[in-house]
C-alpha cells in the first residue's frame, strides 16, 4: 500500500527539541482553550481542566490494564540509546512515567498542541509540535518502539491506513508498534446517558471520525506485509456497582469528557445548558445502575527485519 505522507516530507527535516507556546497555537470557545490547527478534527479543549482529565484517564487505564504497555519491549526499553515515540502524547502522562521508569531510553512525544509541562520533564524526554496527519517529521527507521493511544477523535476514518503506514516507515526493523483505542460510546446505557452519547456519536460522524476503529486495528495491521507477530488484547472499562473506586473514577472521566465537549453536544441535543448540567448526575448514576462499559483494544506487532541473501 502506498504512503502519501512520505512524499510530503523534506529529507532531513529539522527536529525541534523544545515546544514554545505562542498565542497563535490556541483559540477560545465559551472560555475554554482549544488547539488552533486548521482542518484538525480533534474536538476536545487543551486547557488545564482537560489536562487534569487526561491525567485521570491515564491512571484509570493503567490500573485497568495493570501496565503501561503491552508489546514485549522491555528488552528494548532497558537497552541504552533506544528511542521511543509517543504519538498524540497530550498531557504527557504516559511518557513521563515511562521516561522515569526507563532512563536509558530517549522518549519523544508528538502532539498538535504545545501543552506539555516542559519545565518538569525528565531529561530523557522531549516534545515536538506536529500534526500526524501531515506526516511524521522523522527519517525512516528512527524509532525502536512507537506507542499511540486514543486518537479515534483525531484521525479521520479514511486516514488510518496512511497513518499506520507512516508509523511503520519511521519504525526500525525489529521494533514494535502499539496502538490502543477504545469504543467511545458505552454499552448498556441508561436513557439519559444515551442522549449524551448519541449526540457524541453524531459529532464524530460529522467530523468523519470512526467510533469503531478499535475493532479494526488488528485487520489494519494484517494488511501491512511489514508487520509480524500481530497480537490483539481485549479489555473492558466497567462501571457497575461492584467496581468500587475504579468504576467511580471511570464515571468521573466520562462525566468530565461530556462537560469538555459540551458546546458541540448542545447543538445536537437541543436542550438548555442548565438541563445539560443537571442531567449529568443522573447519567453518572445510570453508569452504575445499567452496568455500562466501554470496550478497549490493544494491538501491537513487530516490524519484520530485512533478511539479506
- Count of alpha carbons within 13 angstroms of residue 100, beta-carbon side: 9
Per the structure, the count of domains in the chain is: 1
Query: Quick one: angle between helices 48-65 and 93-101, nearest 10?
Result: 50
In a domain? residue 77: yes
Q: At what angle do helices 262-269 and 191-206 cross, to 10 degrees?
A: 100
Would residue 308 count as lying in a domain?
no
Which residues lie closer than 8 Å to 171 by C-beta, 6 or more apart?
A: 141, 143, 144, 146, 177, 303
Contact predicate 178/69, CB 8 Å? yes
Tell me: pLDDT of 15 over 60.
no
**Site of grid cell 530523557:** 124
DSSP 194-243: HHHHHHHHHHHHHTTB-TTGGGTHHHHHHT-TTEEEEEEEEEEEE-SGGG
Does residue 242 lie in a domain region?
Answer: yes
CA atoms of 225 and 207, how far apart (whole Å) = 30
Tell me the H-state helices in the chain.
Answer: 4-8, 48-65, 74-78, 93-101, 160-170, 191-206, 217-222, 244-260, 262-269, 273-289
d(CA 140, CA 186): 38
Domain extent, residue 258, equals 4-303
Say which CATH number the domain at 155 has.
3.40.50.150
Tell me the pLDDT tens digit for each residue of 261-285.
998 899 899 999 999 999 999 999 9
Per-residue pLDDT of 240-267, as tens digits, reads: 888 888 888 999 999 999 999 998 899 8
What pLDDT, on the 0 to 100 scale, is given for residue 244?
86
State mean pLDDT over 147-158: 94
Is the pLDDT score of 55 beyond 80?
yes
Give the whole-angstrom CA distance, residue 271 versus residue 133: 34
**pTM of the full predicted structure?**
0.88
Is 186 contained in some domain? yes
Q: What phi, psi does 295 have (nearest 5°)?
A: -85, 145
Residue 56 covered by a domain: yes
C-alpha cell at 15: 527536529
Quickly state the pLDDT bin for 5 (edges 50, 70, 90).
very low
Amino acid at each position: 500500500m502506498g504512503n502519501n505522507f512520505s512524499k510530503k516530507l523534506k529529507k532531513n527535516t529539522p527536529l525541534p527539541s523544545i515546544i514554545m507556546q505562542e498565542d497563535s497555537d490556541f483559540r477560545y470557545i465559551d472560555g475554554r482553550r482549544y488547539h488552533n490547527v486548521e482542518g484538525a478534527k480533534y474536538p476536545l479543549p487543551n486547557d488545564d481542566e482537560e489536562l487534569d482529565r487526561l491525567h485521570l484517564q491515564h491512571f484509570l487505564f493503567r490500573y485497568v490494564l495493570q501496565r503501561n504497555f503491552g508489546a514485549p519491549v522491555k528488552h528494548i526499553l532497558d537497552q541504552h540509546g533506544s528511542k521511543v515515540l509517543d504519538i498524540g502524547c497530550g498531557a504527557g502522562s504516559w511518557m513521563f512515567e515511562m521516561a522515569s521508569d526507563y532512563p536509558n531510553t530517549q522518549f519523544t512525544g508528538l502532539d498538535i498542541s504545545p501543552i506539555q509541562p516542559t519545565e518538569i520533564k525528565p531529561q530523557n524526554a522531549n516534545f515536538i509540535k506536529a500534526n500526524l496527519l501531515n506526516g511524521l517529521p522523522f527519517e525512516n527507521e528512527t524509532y525502536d518502539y512507537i506507542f499511540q493511544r486514543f486518537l479515534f477523535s483525531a484521525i479521520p476514518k479514511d486516514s488510518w491506513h496512511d497513518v499506520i503506514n507512516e508509523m511503520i516507515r519511521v519504525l526500525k526493523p525489529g521494533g514494535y508498534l502499539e496502538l490502543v483505542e477504545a469504543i467511545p460510546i458505552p454499552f448498556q446505557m441508561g436513557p439519559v446517558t444515551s442522549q449524551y452519547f448519541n449526540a457524541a456519536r453524531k459529532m464524530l460522524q460529522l467530523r468523519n471520525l470512526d467510533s469503531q476503529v478499535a475493532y479494526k486495528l488488528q485487520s489494519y495491521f494484517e494488511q501491512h506485509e511489514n508487520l509480524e507477530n500481530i497480537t490483539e488484547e481485549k479489555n473492558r472499562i466497567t462501571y457497575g456497582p461492584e467496581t468500587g473506586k475504579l468504576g467511580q473514577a471511570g464515571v468521573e472521566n466520562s462525566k468530565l469528557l461530556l462537560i469538555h465537549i459540551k458546546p458541540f453536544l448542545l447543538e445536537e441535543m437541543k436542550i438548555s445548558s442548565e438541563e445539560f448540567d443537571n442531567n449529568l448526575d443522573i447519567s453518572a448514576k445510570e453508569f452504575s445502575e445499567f452496568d455500562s462499559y466501554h470496550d478497549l483494544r490493544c494491538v501491537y506487532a513487530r516490524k519484520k527485519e530485512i533478511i539479506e541473501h
